[in-house]
Structure 1
């Protein structure tokens, strides 16, 4: 008789795959219990958990259905692998996306504003119970052993149990305020050391920044304190410029004398020749009948003179300018008159008397004119000519006749050149400033140095993206709006106006934590007691309410399904193993055993935990948990109620196993990059467009960068960030958020903890203990 037995390799492969599947599924189950059992998880953590669980469930369902593939599809290895791959490609997306679609479309999206508000309150009560801020009479809840598997399982399901009792909110209406206040306070105070540690790091960072700021202020003050020295230095430049200018002026004078000498050498003989020709013309044509010829002779000499003298570059100069002028004394005039009178027999004397009587000079002269061929005479006359002086002044800006340093010093041109010189160096002097005005010069230096100090200060502040005034005290520095804005960016919701970074723990609690507790409690109460309409689609609390609904509904469903898949898969392993190793004579009765296994094992799995596994929360029939389960039965259906009861009994048995798997394999942390990638293509992604402005601001802060540096007391320590792919390196840049950081070193106990890394520089100093 032939059996419909599938190939050995196929059965062996399914046994191995089913065994391996239990590891990621058990990890998901334990992570779900641990995460939700400690309170409402962060949206990102819940999304990571949800996507991981759906991905693993898709694999589990595919493996379960692989048992039902026809024998012909797996008769050969190649065909069997193709069939398995095709099944996985078909089933996995349906399970992965189908779970999300069914939950969102049947439970979350159609929910009413009232349901969302009550789910928010249920989540708050669950968190309050998890943090031991409330007590439920008759509830056997060991708050001292919060992280026990039984406690975590109960707390993970407690939100769903509370949600099942619509009358619960009315029963404890008067205690809402106390419960929420205690919850917020406990939540804040349990992280007090962490908050204060982060706050202390902010102090360390601000101290470094203030020291740098104070150093800049010191430099600024030093610049201002040296203004008098700077003024002395600038005035030395004044004296140096005057000294150099005076030397250049004297050189220009010598150069001008040289030019005059050259002109004298060149044009002196020609001027002398002109006068000589004029005398010859007079002598040659002295007769009155020769007047015309004498005039023509004069004209030719004058034309040649004009042509030559214009070449000297001073314009036309009258010929008489070059004559030597001598004074004639009265004695010389008298002696001459007497001599001429004697020689003319008195005629000259008579004519002289007649000339004087008629207003003439009587031949008496006070000046005598001569010409010479001496070059020195012409050099002097060139230097004395006004046009030659104008040429010098045009070239130098000074008159040629300055012969004293004090005159040169006080000249307007000297002041003008000094003003121009210092203007090019950024020192602006008034347009009418003179060298004698030392006080005005000092004021200009003061203005320049102050402006330079201010510009340097502003540039230094701009590099730090600040615009602070110098010389602020430590307290003033902290209270500056720009510094307060940076503190607010770092502290997020914990920020309070006027916060200082040097408060001790008492002041931190009084001025920061307590006001935030009150503020958060007020905000929480406003949300819970406000209009239900704010939880409607598109309103302020819609997304918050949906997230709370997910946190109280999804965990019981996911936990039950995951746990059932694990138990069902695990129950099949012995049968699959026996099928591989059973002797040939046992094969005839195997089909009967297999059928009994398929019928009995699911029933045993569903019955045994509830009947035979003890649970402190349900052992008393009058316990609040049983009361809540009855409410679930009334509000939904007995199947859902039994599923929660079954999970309460079965889950604590599996939870430790999943934790051990994760501790060794780190699958959940290493799945993080893939989780982010799948989240981008996930259907029905949570819409954040309707988040409040404050939520959007918080999301913005989360996306800011943080610079992480980890230090340790151990040598050769190794740092790993378990929930990201890139390897750690000192000063690595990360997005702000929560990171699972592990520090290990030979001979030391491994440190591993989640850290919230906010925007800015984050320095973690991890102290490792010896093994």
Structure 2
């Protein structure tokens, strides 16, 4: 006979998974009671709890539906595993996101302004009761044993009970401010040590930042104080540049002389040969009839000379330039005239007189010209030529004739080269600056060094995400708006204007805690006394009202469902185990008895706790809790009222078990990194859809910024872990800006774990651990 029994391995797998599922579900149930039972939870804690609960319930629903998979889909091991994985991949996202969608769309978003305002009243009174700042007549509330499972269960459900009484706001009207003020004050004083410890840690962090700031200021001041020394150093560069330039100039002079010498050696003989040829032409063709031949002889010599001299690189130079010029004295002219007159018998004297009479020179010369083959003569003439001088000046920028350092030092080219040299080093001198203007030079150095110091200062501040001016005192540093802004981000709601990080406990209480108590009381009263319109969509307190509504109606629902699923699953385990050991051979026929068997266990689970489990809050029929349960029944329905009553009786039994599971397995705590990731995805699905393009870009820009984190501690051998990321921590680790779950532990010390918001730039956290 063909049976409809599924394979043994499949039934065993579902039994094991159902058993394992009880552990995280029980942990969620216990964490929900513990967290909400102590008042309105912190937003991050509530987010962690919510994400964890939705994730676990997604697994639970998948396991529930796995029982209904057809036998063909699980007949073979491989097919069964694939079918189960596919079911989980399909069901888990639907349950995880669907829960939030259903709650938001059916309970929170459609809520009225009146419901939101009333939820705010209820949450405030629940928190006040959790802090033991109010008393409810007839309520057996053991404030001395606040952490008991029964107390925590009652307080977790109390917000929902209060929410059911429509006359609540009228009843507390006269005592609103006293209740709220007492609650806020006790909450603040209760957390005083924690607040002051956080504040002290802020002081340590700020001291480290100020030390780095003061060190930078000291370096800045030192730079400015050494401007005169820097100016001396720059002036030494001036002297060095001048000396180096003078040396290079002298080398250039020697090189130029060598060029002249080379030209003299090469072209001197050719010039000398030219003059010899000219003289030969004159001597050979001295007759008047040979004038043409003489001219042709001259022309050939001149042509050869032009060709040669142009090769010297100085252009054409007249041949007479190379002649040696000697002065002829009057005595020599007179002696020559007398001698010639004697030799010619007076004829020369007569001709000389005749020449003078008609305006001639009478043969009297004041210059004598001759040529030579001496290379030294030609070297001098090359050096003296203007074109040779211009060549030197073009190459060096200086005239060839500078013969001492003082002239070189004061030359305009020297000043020009110095201006260019220092400009390349960032020192800008005026275009008309000369070496004699020392004061102008000193002013330029002062400007440069100051600009460098300011630029370095701005760069260092930018690395820290600041733009502070240097030389602030410790008090000025703390009170600077940018530092105050960071303190405000660090302290959150506790921040007060112009807070100081070095106040003692008395000053902290006086200047921070007490003003915050008044501020928070005023904030609560502003909400409680405001018009309903401010709780409507778009109103000032709309979001706060929605959050209060979540905190008062979701815990009872979540707690009841979670508790019921745990009890139901736990009760079905024996039956599953029996079916695993001795399965039915064929598919049983449907009958009333079969239906009764299936309904019996859920019915017993619902009835037994209410009838047989004692509860101090409901034992008196006239107790306020029973009164509130009646209000729940009136305002909603008997089913919801019974669910709350059942939870009040059953939950205290299971709460310790969930705590033990967490203590042993630490699942809830280890889920934190994954919870943070899932929350980010969840936020992106629901929040960023309404962001404008500009807002989204700004958000992306912030997320893309980098921070470098270094953690320090008072413990000698401490370990740092960043729980919400994969990479291992190391000093100076580069991270994106954002929130990070940081854990610091050390042997013999209590483990520190807290979320920190890290801004762009280098961030240093000092975590002081306390000994166990």
Superposition TM-score tier, normalisation by shorter sequence: 0.7 to 0.9
The residue aligned with 1:340 is 340
The one-character-per-residue Cα deviations of 1:175-215 (angstroms, maximum 9, x if unpaired) are 22333333333333332322222222222222222222222
Structure 1 contact 241–418 (Cα < 8 Å) conserved: yes
**Larger CA deviation: 660-669 vs 594-603:** 594-603
Which segment drifts farther, 639-648 or 208-217?
639-648
Matched, 1:399 2:399: yes
Asked if structure 2 preserves the Cα contact closer than 8 Å seen for 1:706 and 1:736, the reply is no
Q: How many residues align?
A: 750
User: 2:323 matched to which residue of 1?
Assistant: 323
Partner of 1:379: 379
CA contact (8 A) 2:392 2:399 kept: yes
Report the secondary structure of 2:427's partner residue: coil
Number of the residue aligned with 2:40: 40
Q: Distance in 1 between matches of 2:679 and 2:381?
A: 103
The answer on whether the counterparts of 1:670 and 1:724 sit within 8 Å (CA) in structure 2 is no
2:356 maps to which residue? 356
What is residue 645 of structure 1 aligned with on the other side?
645
Number of the residue aligned with 1:165: 165
Alignment partner of 1:239 is 2:231: no
Specify the alignment match of 1:624 in structure 2. 624
How much does 1:159 deviate? 0.8
Q: Counterparts of 2:23 and 2:395 in 1: how far apart (Å)? A: 99
Within 5 Å, which residues of 2 pair with 1:362-441?
362-441=362-441
Structure 2 distance, partners of 1:513, 1:364, is: 121
**TM-score normalised by structure 2 residue count:** 0.80
How far 1:559 sits from its partner (Å)? 3.1
Indicate the residue corresponding to 1:587 in structure 2: none
Q: Which has the larger radius of gyration?
A: 1
Describe the SS at the equivalent of 1:369: strand
Contact 1:38 1:155 in 2 (8 A): yes
State how far apart, in whole Å, the 1-side matches of 2:469 and 2:351 are: 100
**Which residue does 1:458 correspond to in 2?**
458
CA distance in 1 between partners of 2:268 and 2:78 (Å): 126
Describe the shift of the 1:619–1:11 C-alpha distance in structure 2 as closer, same or farther (beyond 3 A). same
Give the match for residue 180 of structure 1. 180
SS in 2 for 1:364: coil
The worse-fitting range, judged by mean Cα deviation, of 16-25 and 528-537 is: 16-25
Preserved contact between residue 710 and residue 766 of structure 1 (Cα < 8 Å) = no
Distance 1:398 1:249 in 2: 8
Residue 152 (structure 1) shift: 0.9
CA–CA distance in structure 2, aligned partners of residues 698 and 391 of structure 1: 67
Q: More displaced, 91-100 or 457-466? A: 91-100
Q: Is the 8 A contact 1:10 1:80 kept in 2?
A: no
Relative to structure 1, the CA distance from residue 362 to residue 159 in structure 2 (aligned partners, 3 Å threshold; closer, same or farther) is same
1:66 is displaced (CA, Å) by 10
Point out where structure 2 has 5 or more consecutive residues left out of the alignment.
583-590
**Cα displacement (A) at 1:581:** 11
Residues 226 and 432 from structure 1, CA distance in 2 versus in 1: closer, same or farther, beyond 3 angstroms?
same
Instruction: Give the secondary-structure state (helix, strand or coil) at the position aligned to 1:472.
Output: coil
CA 1:402–1:490 in 2, change beyond 3 Å: closer, same or farther? same
The residue correspondences of 1:659-670 to structure 2 (distance < 5 A) are: 659-670=659-670
Which residue of structure 2 lines up, in the alignment, with residue 586 of structure 1?
A: none
Structure 1 stretches lacking a partner, 5+ long: 583-590
CA contact (8 A) 1:27 1:662 kept: yes
Select between 497-506 and 609-618 the one with higher mean Cα deviation. Answer: 609-618
**Paired residue for 1:532?**
532
SS in 1 for 2:369: strand
> In the alignment, is the contact (CA less than 8 A) between 2:139 and 2:624 conserved in 1?
yes
The aligned residue for residue 588 of structure 2 is: none
**Conserved 8 A contact 2:133-2:179:** yes
SS in structure 1 of the partner of residue 124 of structure 2: helix
Separation in structure 2 between the aligned mates of residue 366 and residue 92 of structure 1, nearest angstrom: 124
8 Å CA contact retained: 1:59, 1:92: yes
Contact 1:119–1:548, Cα closer than 8 Å, also in 2: yes
Give the Cα separation in 2 of the matches to 1:744 and 1:368: 109
RMSD: 4.9
What is the TM-score with the length of structure 1 in the denominator?
A: 0.81
* Greater mean alpha carbon deviation, residues 150-159 or residues 237-246: 237-246
Alignment pair present for 1:517 and 2:530: no
1:209 matched to 2:233 = no
Which residue matches 1:585? none
Structure 2: distance between partners of 1:735 and 1:93: 29
Contact 2:724 2:740 in 1 (8 A): no
Query: Is this contact kept in 2: 1:478–1:484, CA < 8 A?
Result: yes
Residue matched to 2:585: none
In 2 relative to 1, CA 740–380 (structure 1 residues): closer, same or farther, beyond 3 Å? Answer: closer
C-alpha displacement of 1:168: 0.8
Query: What's the counterpart of residue 657 of structure 1?
Result: 657
Q: Distance in 2 between matches of 1:237 and 1:77?
A: 89
Residue 251 of structure 1: how far off its partner (Å):
2.9
**1:739 to 1:127, Cα distance in 2 relative to 1, 3 A:** farther
In 2 relative to 1, CA 305–10 (structure 1 residues): closer, same or farther, beyond 3 Å? closer
Alignment of 1:146-157 (within 5 A): 146-157=146-157
1:612 is displaced (CA, Å) by 5.2
Range moving further from structure 2, 543-552 or 118-127:
543-552
Deviations 1:162-181 (A, max 9, x none): 11111110121232233333
Shift of 1:147: 0.9
* Residue equivalent to 2:557: 557
Q: Does the CA-based 8 Å contact 1:670-1:725 persist in structure 2?
A: no
Q: Distance in 1 between matches of 2:229 and 2:282?
A: 76
Confirm or deny: 8 A CA contact 1:706 1:735 kept in the other structure: no
Deviations 1:271-303 (A, max 9, x none): 333333333444344344444444444334333
Change (3 A) 1:106 1:728: same
CA shift in 2, pair 1:118/1:431, >3 Å: same
CA distance in 1, matches of 2:719, 2:464: 33
Structure 2: distance between partners of 1:376 and 1:13: 116
Once the two structures are superposed, residues 373-392 of structure 1 have per-residue CA deviations (whole angstroms, 9 ceiling, x without a partner) of 33333333333333333333
**Following the alignment from structure 2 to structure 1, what is the Cα–Cα distance between the partners of residues 713 and 29?**
34
Which secondary structure state, in structure 1, belongs to the residue aligned with residue 275 of structure 2? helix
Greater CA drift, 465-474 or 608-617: 608-617
SS of match in other structure, 1:132: coil
Q: 1:230 to 1:74 in 2, by over 3 A?
A: closer
In structure 2, the partner of 1:122 is: 122
**Residue pairs, 1:23-34, within 5 angstroms:** 23-34=23-34
CA deviation after TM superposition for structure 1 residue 219, in Å: 2.2
1:496 equivalent in structure 2: 496
CA contact (8 A) 1:669 1:724 kept: no
What is the aligned partner in structure 1 of residue 219 from structure 2?
A: 219
Measure the CA separation in 1 of the matches of 2:181 and 2:681.
39
Residues 213-236 of structure 1: CA deviation (Å, up to 9, x unaligned): 222222222223333333333323
Change (3 A) 1:217 1:675: closer
Deviations 1:618-641 (A, max 9, x none): 344443323323322333344433
Which residue is 1:475 aligned to? 475
8 Å CA contact 1:738–1:756 kept in 2: the answer is yes
CA distance in 2, matches of 1:690, 1:282: 111
Q: 1:336 to 1:540 in 2, by over 3 A?
A: same
* Distance of aligned partners of 1:527 and 1:684 in 2 relative to their CA distance in 1, 3 Å threshold: farther
Farther off after superposition, 759-768 or 134-143:
759-768
- Structure 1 pair 328/13, CA: closer, same or farther in 2 (3 Å)? closer
Separation in structure 2 between the aligned mates of residue 14 and residue 743 of structure 1, nearest angstrom: 39
For 1:296-307, what aligned pairs fall within 5 Å after superposition? Answer: 296-307=296-307
Displacement, 1:129?
A: 0.9
Q: Measure the CA separation in 1 of the matches of 2:99 and 2:215.
A: 61
Structure 1 equivalent of residue 587 of structure 2: none
**Does the 8 Å contact 1:180/1:521 carry over to 2?**
yes
Local SS of the residue matching 1:200? helix
Give per-residue Cα distances to partners, 1:69-128, cap 9 Å, x unaligned: 99x99999999999x979997999998888767755654444322112101210111011
- Measured in 1, the distance between the counterparts of 2:704 and 2:418 equals 59
Alpha-carbon distance in 2 for matches of 1:730, 1:432: 57
- After superposition, the Cα gap between the structure-2 partners of 1:180 and 1:231, relative to the gap in structure 1 and judged at 3 Å, is same
Contact 1:43 1:547 survives alignment (8 Å): no
